[in-house]
Structure 1
């Protein structure tokens, strides 16, 4: 099951994505009489995910005929939501990437950083290159979405706390980071330095994330790609590791590392592609 948020009738509204269009969650509520959350923040909570799946499973062919559908050309995608409590990132998580950076990883201790909600944009929004940096890089990444409060869980316990995943872009002021490794955090926090969406794939317990291929896309061309199976730290381990330090909340986002980066210039298009998901694309101002 797939969700997105679109700009429709002058407001940002969540939709259930279909093969050739979408249905507003509001329309499902009106047709069924149930009260699903009308924000994506609410919909990604585990309880709401279960309620949505139950509601959709109860719809028959005549219901789908009656529910108003939006055509593909009507879908103007935006960020799935705007104010997650936490946005985490993991660096150098693919073997080739770490080798390329000549980095030494610490066993069971991935490189982690955070981004503020003020850095967040979504599909069709512009990336703004900051005046304070001369070299900005972009990286496509698999992003996990936390679905319920998660604290001090083991890797084996971690995935039931994840409600879904999506595409994301992590931007870095590379010249600032290059001055000193300790500057990694400050190099990540500029306006428009994090993008995610547009499509959220809800987990049903059957997916094998290791089979996903993640691509960093630069001006429509694949700049780097790798499979999740080649991560040094698995998604389960990453969620578990971060949960040892922070009480993760529904809607929290965790980027899991990139297969590779590229330098951005004004006029470029930055993108991320992941198996089975709509591509994420942002133009550079």
Structure 2
């Protein structure tokens, strides 16, 4: 036989009024502490008793005293109110105090190449925030997967999400010193045809993409790549190994460029790479832990790249 559990159907303010009478000893004192009339507090207690189906207070001409049921109920009620108040404080603090656990998802290439440094500096600044990082090229449902923030490339999201622009990125051409020692760097765009090109997410056959010199000149480049890869992380590894000239986002190539393991080719020519956006569920104000992480990512990206950012 399954035991039936009764749930509390009374009003929270009635419960607090009852506890105040027990704490302070009289209805008058309880009413004063709650800025109510004695009649209002008395009605609250009567309503609570009706909801419970039990007499909690014994009424006397000059006083009220708790019954045995009232004393037992008071002990549990006080404990429950303390837990409820603590939960409410935690929820309120989440809006203003950056602490707790954060679940973040991003593309595989960005997660592998950029996120380790960003997460390390973030944890130094906010050691009280723990993080789950989910690297996947799948566009996860944020609600279903309990994701706080998704860092995504591309256009703004569909309805139900908010998308704050972090940076606009460019995709440049890069090669390893080893490759350039064997194949001197191309002097112009036409010379790219003499090189092994490594591209990401491209269709079979001759591949076309636009290159911009930053001064208004745009050129269409149509080439058959030597290697196609499913993502920029693979293009990056192949380029570092000297397999050819890789078409890579500046964000992915930045650390290798600084260390000298990659060299920019045909600068300033590059392809507009789209926007990196911080995507979250639409609705109420974001918790503080999500806001500070989003701003940290924006600051780190701005520190590393000369790119346009939008504070919206």
TM-score computed with the length of structure 2 as normaliser: 0.22
Query: Which structure has the higher relative contact order (CA within 8 Å, separation 6+)?
Result: 1
Structure with bigger helix share is 2
TM-score computed with the length of structure 1 as normaliser: 0.23
Structure with bigger strand share is 1
